Amino acid sequence: MQCMHCILVVTLLKIIKMAATASKLIGGNFLFSETDPKDVFIPEEFTDEQKMVWQTVHDFCMKELHGLGIERVAQLDAEKDKEFLLEIFHKAAELGICGVSIPEEYGGMGLDFNTGLLFTEALAIGLAFATTIGAQVSIGSLPIVFYGTDEQKRKYLPKIATGEYACSYALTEPGSGSDANSAKSKAVLNEAGTHYILNGQKMWITNGGFADIFIIFAKIDDDERLSAFIVEKEFGGIEIGKEEKKMGIKASSTVQLFFNNVPIPKENLLGERQKGFNMALNILNNGRIKICAGGVGGMKFGVQKSVEYANQRIQFNQPIAQFGAMKQKIGQMAMLAFVNESAAYRVGAEVDKKYHELKDNGATENDAKINSMREYAIECAILKVQGSEAMCWTADEAIQVHGGMGYAMETGVEMAYRDARITKIYEGTNEINRMLALAEFYKRAFKTKELKINDAMKTIPVGIAQNFNPFNNGFMADESEIVSNLKSVFMIITGAAGRKLKTQLEHEQEIVMNLADIMSVAFMAESAILRVKKLKSDANADKEALKIKVKMTQLYVYDAIETARKSAHNAIDSYATGVEKFAMKRVVNSLLKNYDINPKDTRRAIADVVIAANKYPY
């Protein structure tokens, strides 16, 4: 009987592996394919030019913001100083920072997508100002870059690139946040047919207090879906609410907007009518991966602040950095920065490759930009959740490392903690992003069939999985097998839950959250493994650094197994009963067992290198 089960599951695992499709540039395909390390981009491959972008932005933030001293920074944080905000915005613009995502022909720097992520990582140390510039170069201007006509681009992009126009993105309303398409703002074409007349209200609009250009989402007449408009403040009829009093990113502008018969020239409709909601989602894909890249910058900074403090703070006659409890935190923080970095730039490079592939196949510039981003919607949702949660955890633990001083304003870590918190909310809450990752997976697997799941996957058998292979050998072979098993666990439970609950599954959100977490840790772990495998095959790679990178990868894999096991059990216990429940849990336990590292020693080894370097060293 046991052998029969074994055969069933071994066959199932083979099917999953065979389902790899020919194209390598398919979002979500990581679940069905084994990626060759040669095909992934790793951060060690950034060119000197790309590193220069990072350095320029980093130096700017250090000089113009951190250089002010903590008291002035704290003051900016406490009382919004609009003039200072504008001053710093224009200084950044002089360096070309406002034009990073704008093509060169419109006066921007035309950075490729992955360099744009590197820019975002560097910007993350820019306190609340990072949100201001982030909105300018991402959600505030990309709708025009991606969807604008040539005329719209010529009219607006050069001024956005120089900072002459500050911009913002207005989707959320008091009654419509996560459910963005239920927005009530309404635009009606006037009798002369020359202008849309906009009425309504928006809420939580970043940069809204000083923006010259608003990308506004509203419904035309009684349309079902949103349309988008480029609206200049100069058009009149926009009343700007008072600045919100917020928990964090206090120095950034966040306001309500009230529209009273705003006349929008007809030609300022952006993209097609009723396509605004799709546009909004796609722009958010872009913002989501950037949250992860920014998170990487924040995590590295958190490591640095923590280790600097821990190295100089003496308790019980020794630096607190020497205590195991502190090493545990520092090692874990560094590991999370490393893994998130591996995953974010892996996806960033895929987006760039997809863009070129689409262009080579004859796509227009706009379509190539839009569809290369859309392709990786699953990965962007995963990265948003993982990056924001890792950053918030790091900020919290950075306070803990600082003890009472962490709670005081003067060390700056409490500000980082407050600032980090918003990343779990905006660009789609983390709950929405978990659901989105799953929904997009189901859509691509079962509706559009872009993911080539073998038919057999739809009726997944339940059985006892093959045991962890004790004869596995080769560099990172155990870890690679575990990732493969994590994917199998995801597929087995997703298939079985889908089969049992059918359309009811979308209403069983707790199970959806569990499934999204399994899928996510599989992706993150795989990204780190691919990175160290690629480094291993590079004769010029720093061998000592590689040893620690391997340890960081192993530590993540160790944690990933626990996350996946807990999520899998939670899901199974929530939908299955009787024999099915018993059998499913045996499969999961069988697939997720026997990974033997010493987590304490592994974390310590990582922490020791970070402590010696007095910063995140990679």
Ligand X SMILES: Cc1cc2nc3c(=O)[nH]c(=O)nc-3n(C[C@H](O)[C@H](O)[C@H](O)COP(=O)(O)OP(=O)(O)OC[C@H]3O[C@@H](n4cnc5c(N)ncnc54)[C@H](O)[C@@H]3O)c2cc1C
Residues taking part in catalysis: 427
Q: How far apart are CA 610 and CA 618, in angstroms?
A: 9
CB of 309 to ligand X, least distance (A): 28
169 vs 301, beta carbon nearer ligand X? 169
CB of 153 to ligand X, least distance (A): 22
CA dihedral 473, 479, 481, 485 (to 10 degrees): 160
User: Residue 168 in contact with residue 211, Cβ under 8 Å?
Assistant: yes
43 vs 248, beta carbon nearer ligand X? 248
CB of 529 to ligand X, least distance (A): 31
341 vs 427, beta carbon nearer ligand X? 427
Tell me the one-letter amino acid at 468: F
CB of 292 to ligand X, least distance (A): 17
Q: Which helix (H) or strand (E) holds 359?
A: helix 324-360
Write the CA distances from 284 to 49, 239, 370, 381, integer angstroms. Answer: 28, 26, 11, 9
Write the CA distances from 491 to 488, 532, 550, 566, 587, integer angstroms. Answer: 5, 26, 27, 16, 12
Give the residue among 453, 490, 484 at the shortest CA–CA distance from 466.
484
Contacts of 446 (CB under 8 A, 6+ apart): 453, 458
Contacts of 452 (CB under 8 A, 6+ apart): 19, 21, 32
**Burial bucket for residue 370 (CB in 10 Å: 0-12, 13-18, 19+):** buried
CB of 179 to ligand X, least distance (A): 6
Q: How far apart are CA 389 and CA 285, in angstroms?
A: 17
Q: How far apart are CA 446 and CA 548, in angstroms?
A: 41
CB of 177 to ligand X, least distance (A): 2
The two three-digit tokens of residue 187, written as one number? 């635009």
Q: How far apart are CA 616 and CA 618, in angstroms?
A: 6
36 vs 179, beta carbon nearer ligand X? 179
Three-state DSSP class for 196?
strand
232 vs 352, beta carbon nearer ligand X? 232
CB of 204 to ligand X, least distance (A): 3
50 vs 429, beta carbon nearer ligand X? 429
Give the residue among 19, 3, 5, 4 at the shortest CA–CA distance from 456.
19
Tell me the one-letter amino acid at 106: Y
Give residue number: closest CB to ligand X.
177
- The set of long-range contacts for 230-239, using a CB threshold of 8 Å and a minimum separation of 24, is 230/143, 230/144, 230/148, 230/152, 230/156, 230/264, 230/268, 230/270, 231/198, 231/262, 231/264, 231/268, 235/262, 235/263, 235/264, 235/265, 236/262, 236/263, 237/198, 237/261, 237/262, 237/263, 238/214, 238/262
DSSP-based helix, strand, coil % in the chain, nearest 5:
65, 10, 25
CB of 259 to ligand X, least distance (A): 14
Beta partners for residue 613, in sequence order: none
202 vs 452, beta carbon nearer ligand X? 202
75 vs 429, beta carbon nearer ligand X? 429
181 vs 429, beta carbon nearer ligand X? 429
135 vs 299, beta carbon nearer ligand X? 135
User: Residue 569 in contact with residue 588, Cβ under 8 Å?
Assistant: yes
**Residues that bind ligand X in the complex, under the rule CB under 6 A:** 135, 168-172, 177-178, 204-206, 246, 249, 254, 422, 425-426, 428-429, 431-432, 509
CB of 36 to ligand X, least distance (A): 37
Q: How far apart are CA 193 and CA 394, in angstroms?
A: 54
CB of 139 to ligand X, least distance (A): 6
User: Residue 561 in contact with residue 595, Cβ under 8 Å?
Assistant: yes
Beta partners for residue 73, in sequence order: none
